[in-house]
Amino acid sequence: MGHRKPWTGLIIRIAGLVLLAIAAFSARRLFARAMTPPDGLEYFLALIAFASASAGCAMTTLGAHLFDQVEVSARWRRL
């Protein structure tokens, strides 16, 4: 924790908001193409929307805590 800069959390949260905007844009484009004949672009737009929304939510809510270490139970540790 002490090695991080104080603005790291803010930059990660801003990047998360940018990813959420990308997700919204690609979801709108996917919705606009709903009545056109299907092609590979719909799958690509769905992939971008899902991946951007998932990463954007994690980055926006957790900020710099995204990289915190967590305690793992002894049952799941490597020997």
Q: Which sequence spans correspond to the domains of the chain?
A: 8-76
pLDDT value of position 2: 53
78 pLDDT above the threshold of 90:
no
Which tens digits make up the pLDDT trace of 28-67? 999 999 888 888 999 999 999 999 999 999 999 999 888 8
Residue 63 CB partners (closer than 8 Å, separation 6+): 8, 9, 10, 12, 13
Q: pTM higher than 0.95, yes or no?
A: no
Which tens digits make up the pLDDT trace of 8-33? 899 999 999 999 999 999 999 999 99
DSSP 3-state of 15:
helix
Residue 36 is given by DSSP the state S
Cβ burial of 8 (10 Å; 0-12, 13-18, 19+) is middle
